């Protein structure tokens, strides 16, 4: 997939019509992540009950890749256990670094469309912002 | 087709529309060859030479210094110090001149539109000395008023530092007027010439700058060679910046006396090949001629600005006049983050800069997170601009907006 296709087929949809971008009442955990160099800014809200992420949202602003990546991440982790979410974050991180297997890619569903970011060093931090913030938050709340 | 374009290997196949020369220029084969020739025929450690080859290296390095002095109209070669780049040159002034002569309660005057390299050294100095860092603010077009400069330059002002041309807005500044004001209150005028030197004839004597910094790589020289010009009496009064080899006269276990300027400020083995490359780049630049450079850039800037303003959903920053841009056009596309814009253009092999351009205080003042910047040089063509325009017209569509 070339870059424009990536935007057209995946990124734009999640950026312009996100499912999970809204203010969230009473999250059990939340965390803000920022990329100071480009102004990407995103806050993740989660509701975690007995080790399961039962609901979540994000709010923020920034480039299309940072925001779309947040929406795709929410698609993936809602309904999963905290450990499963950490596992996905770890795979996503390796995908962006170009160190991932075919089977692992499948687990990422839509988010695997961002694999080409691994060839675009300047955009890596955009794609990783939501996942990095999630990992830090889950580790802090352990 | 531009007659000079064939000299630039990166441009010769027209693979890229390279519109990021304000970040770094491309290099012509003449510069590459000069560097190679130095290493092939004159390579030895300069300034330590008791043998023919080292004398060749020393001569090549010192000839380059004389070439730079002529280029910027310095009174003598001794006023030219070779550094790594503009950033190092400005740091040299802040560390050496600043630490020796700025005291508690003194003021340092800079503009909010400065590049971080002309902000942070002064910020650091001000904190260390309990001095005050005072800012000038422009109008919405990016222009500064002489009245504000006069009002903020006072008897406490020790240093007034400003870029001759802004790396974001391009607007050229009346440095000669500023220097007069600075000198009338006893301050020194420090000029960041990184964005001006590649595009216009500079005379440090005419503008009466006390210090003038520029980078070689923005005027087609190799990366890693830059210049600090300083008035000789100031340089002589300043302590060394870096210390070590080559910058001493006599050393004992507990003390040292230092070499004469400029060598006092050039510790360690110098970048002689870089200096030779810089001299070759200056030869090339003067052969092209500032008349041609200004005419070509103005024509292309006018075309780019006119066409860009016809595109819906575009905001262009800076002056309405193409003459006030020095080849730099900074803009935003409604709803589109500059990093997405640059990525879409990259897919079309159009190279622009996106982000804060190392000028975050200016971005905060302009109330934008980031901007896009297309910058032109004399080797660009109307075709480069057309490729840029074609790509930019599709950006909103590519990012999922109606038009």
Q: How far apart are CA B229 and CA B238, in angstroms?
A: 13
Lowest mean pLDDT among A50-64, B18-32, B52-66, B252-266: B252-266
Alpha-carbon gap: A104 to the closest alpha carbon of chain B (Å): 27
Position A120 scores a pLDDT of: 86
Set of chain A residues whose Cβ sits within 8 Å of the Cβ of B355: 37-38
Set of chain A residues whose Cβ sits within 8 Å of the Cβ of B401: 16
The neighbouring-strand residues paired with B228 are B81, B213
Position B50 scores a pLDDT of: 82
Q: What is the DSSP string of A60-121?
A: EE--HHHHHHHHHHHHHHTTSBHHHHHHHHHHHHHHHTT---HHHHHHTGGGGGGGGGGG-G
Instruction: Report phi then psi at B369, rounded to 5.
Output: -75, -40
Q: Which of B116, B333, B337, B364 best probes binding to A when mutated, by most A CB atoms within 10 angstroms?
A: B337
* All structural domains of chain B: 30-286 (3.40.640.10), 289-398 (3.90.1150.10)
Under the banding of pLDDT at 50, 70 and 90, the label for residue B13 is confident
Position A121 scores a pLDDT of: 86
Position B1 scores a pLDDT of: 61
Which CATH number covers residue A100?
A: 3.90.1010.10
Alpha-carbon gap: B82 to the closest alpha carbon of chain A (Å): 31
The predicted model gives B350-356 an average pLDDT of 93
Determine whether A94 is exposed, middle or buried from the number of CB atoms within 10 Å of its CB (0-12, 13-18, 19+). Answer: middle
Position B129 scores a pLDDT of: 97
> 10 Å Cβ neighbour count for A77?
24
User: Does B205 have pLDDT greater than 80?
Assistant: yes
User: Does B48 have pLDDT greater than 80?
Assistant: no
Give the closest of B338, B370, B399 to A12, CB-based. B399
A105 close to B (CB below 8 A)? no
Alpha-carbon gap: B351 to the closest alpha carbon of chain A (Å): 13
A124 close to B (CB below 8 A)? no
Under the banding of pLDDT at 50, 70 and 90, the label for residue B113 is very high
User: Does B135 have pLDDT greater than 90?
Assistant: yes
A26 close to B (CB below 8 A)? no
Note the helical H segments in B241-327: 272-288, 290-310
Give the residue with greater pLDDT, B364 vs B305. B305
Q: Which residue of B has its CA nearest to A119?
A: B343
* A37 with B399: Cβ contact below 8 A: no
Give the distance from CA B388 to its chain's centroid: 24
> How many domains in chain A?
1
Q: Which residue of B has its CA nearest to A120?
A: B343
Q: How far apart are CA A30 and CA A83, in angstroms?
A: 17
Give the closest of A2, A39, A65 to B340, CB-based. A65
From chain A residues 4-23, the ones with a CB under 8 A of any chain B CB are 4, 7-8, 12-13, 15-16
CB B268 within 8 A of CB B241: no
Q: How far apart are CA B37 and CA B89, in angstroms?
A: 27
Q: How far apart are CA B325 and CA B319, in angstroms?
A: 7
Single out the residue of B181, B131, B139 nearest to residue B160, CA to CA: B181
Note the helical H segments in B311-367: 338-347, 360-366
* B343 with A123: Cβ contact below 8 A: yes
Q: Which domain holds residue A67?
A: 3-140
CB B47 within 8 A of CB B41: no
User: Does B403 have pLDDT greater than 70?
Assistant: no
Under the banding of pLDDT at 50, 70 and 90, the label for residue B146 is very high
* A3 with B399: Cβ contact below 8 A: no
The percent of residues above 90 in pLDDT, for chain B, comes to 86
The predicted model gives A7-15 an average pLDDT of 92
Instruction: Label the pairing between strands B353-355 and B371-375.
Output: antiparallel
Under the banding of pLDDT at 50, 70 and 90, the label for residue B34 is very high
Q: How far apart are CA B124 and CA B266, in angstroms?
A: 23
Instruction: Label the pairing between strands B353-355 and B314-317.
Output: unpaired
Give the closest of A2, A4, A63 to B337, CB-based. A63
Alpha-carbon gap: B327 to the closest alpha carbon of chain A (Å): 24
pLDDT in tens, B71-106: 999 999 999 999 999 999 999 999 999 999 999 999
Set of chain B residues whose Cβ sits within 8 Å of the Cβ of A15: 399-400
Give the closest of A12, A38, A65 to B400, CB-based. A12
A116 close to B (CB below 8 A)? no
User: Does B239 have pLDDT greater than 90?
Assistant: yes
The predicted model gives B291-300 an average pLDDT of 96
Q: How far is the CA of A10 from the CAs of A7, A15, A67, A101, in angstroms?
A: 6, 9, 12, 21
User: Does B273 have pLDDT greater than 90?
Assistant: yes
The predicted model gives B144-151 an average pLDDT of 95
Task: Examine the residue annotation and report whether B358 is marked as an active-site residue of this protein.
Answer: yes
Note the helical H segments in B156-227: 175-184, 204-207
Mean model confidence pLDDT for chain B: 95
């Amino acid at each position: 997939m070339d870059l424009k296709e990536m935007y057209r087929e995946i990124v734009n949809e999640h950026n312009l019509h996100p499912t999970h971008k809204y203010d969230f009442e009473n999250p059990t955990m939340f965390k803000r992540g920022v990329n100071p160099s480009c102004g990407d800014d995103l806050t993740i809200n989660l509701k975690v009950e007995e080790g399961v992420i039962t609901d979540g949202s994000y709010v923020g602003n920034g480039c299309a890749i940072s925001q779309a990546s947040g929406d795709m991440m929410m698609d993936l982790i809602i309904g999963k256990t905290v450990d499963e979410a950490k596992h996905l974050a770890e795979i996503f991180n390796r995908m962006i670094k170009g160190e991932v297997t075919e089977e692992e890619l499948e687990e990422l569903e839509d988010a695997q469309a961002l694999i080409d970011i691994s060839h675009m060093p300047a955009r890596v931090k955009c794609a990783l912002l939501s996942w990095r913030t999630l990992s830090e938050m889950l580790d802090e709340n352990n | 087709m531009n007659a000079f374009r064939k000299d630039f290997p990166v441009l010769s196949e027209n693979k890229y529309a390279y519109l990021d020369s304000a970040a770094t220029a491309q290099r012509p084969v003449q510069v590459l060859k000069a560097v190679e020739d130095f290493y092939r025929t004159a390579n030895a450690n300069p300034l330590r030479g008791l043998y023919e080859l080292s004398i060749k290296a020393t001569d090549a390095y010192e000839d380059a210094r004389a070439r730079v002095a002529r280029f910027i109209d310095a009174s003598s070669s001794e006023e030219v110090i070779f550094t790594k780049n503009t950033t190092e040159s400005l740091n040299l002034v802040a560390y050496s001149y600043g630490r020796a002569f700025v005291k508690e309660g003194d003021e340092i005057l800079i503009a909010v539109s400065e590049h971080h390299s002309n902000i942070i050294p002064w910020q650091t100095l001000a904190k260390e000395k309990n001095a005050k860092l005072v800012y000038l603010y422009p109008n919405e077009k990016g222009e500064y008023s002489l009245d504000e400069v006069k009002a903020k330059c006072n008897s406490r002002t020790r240093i007034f530092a400003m870029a001759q041309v802004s790396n974001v807005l391009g607007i050229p500044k009346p440095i000669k007027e500023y220097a007069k004001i600075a000198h009338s209150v006893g301050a020194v005028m420090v000029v960041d010439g990184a964005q001006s030197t590649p595009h216009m004839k500079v005379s440090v004597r005419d503008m009466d700058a006390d210090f003038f910094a520029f980078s070689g790589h923005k005027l087609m020289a190799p990366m890693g060679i830059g210049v600090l010009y300083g008035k000789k009496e100031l340089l002589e009064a300043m302590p060394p910046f870096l210390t070590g080899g080559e910058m001493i006269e006599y050393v004992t276990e507990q003390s040292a006396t230092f070499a004469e300027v400029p060598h006092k400020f050039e510790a360690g083995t110098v970048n002689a090949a870089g200096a030779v490359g810089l001299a070759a780049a200056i030869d090339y630049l003067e052969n092209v001629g500032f008349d041609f450079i200004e005419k070509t850039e103005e024509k292309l800037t006018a075309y780019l600005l006119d066409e860009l303003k016809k595109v819906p959903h575009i905001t262009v920053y800076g002056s309405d006049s193409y003459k006030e841009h020095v080849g730099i056009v900074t803009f935003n596309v409604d709803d589109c983050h500059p990093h997405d814009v640059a990525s879409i253009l990259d897919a079309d092999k159009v190279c622009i800069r996106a982000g804060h351009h190392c000028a975050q205080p200016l971005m905060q003042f302009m109330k934008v997170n980031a901007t896009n910047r297309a910058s032109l040089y004399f080797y660009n063509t109307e075709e480069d601009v057309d490729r840029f325009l074609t790509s930019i017209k599709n950006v909103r569509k590519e990012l999922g907006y109606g038009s």
